[in-house]
Amino acid sequence: MRDSLMPGLEGVDQYPGHLEPQISLHLIFSLWGCIKYIVYAEKIRNIQHLRERITSAIETVTRNMIQKTWQKIEFRLDDSRATNGAHIEVY
C-alpha cells in the first residue's frame, strides 16, 4: 500500500519508526527553505503582500526541484538501510 502512496519507498516496513511522516516533513522543509528565501527577498509590507509573495514563490517550484528533493530522500533512506537505522552525522 505504501508503494502506491509514495513511490521509491519499497521496503520501508523493515525499519522501526514512522518514516512516512519524516519523509513528508523533509520534503516540505526542503521546499519551504527555497520558497522562504524567495518570499523574504524583499521586505513584506502587509498580509496581502505576503500572500502574493508566497503564491508567486510556490509557482517557481519546478518538477526538477521536486525530483532532486526525492533523490536526497532516497539517499537518506539508503543510508538508513545501510546502517540499520542508526544515527548518521552529516557534515
Q: Render pLDDT for 40-67 as a digit per residue (tens, 0 to 9).
A: 999 999 999 999 999 999 899 888 888 8
What's the predicted TM-score (pTM) here? 0.52
Q: Return the pLDDT at 24.
A: 67
pLDDT in tens, 11-35: 544 444 555 566 667 777 778 888 8
pLDDT for the residue numbered 12 = 47
CA distance 49 to 52: 5
Hey, what's the cell of 67?
525530483
pLDDT for res 2: 40
Contact 15, 80 (CB under 8 A): yes
For residue 44, the model assigns a pLDDT of 95
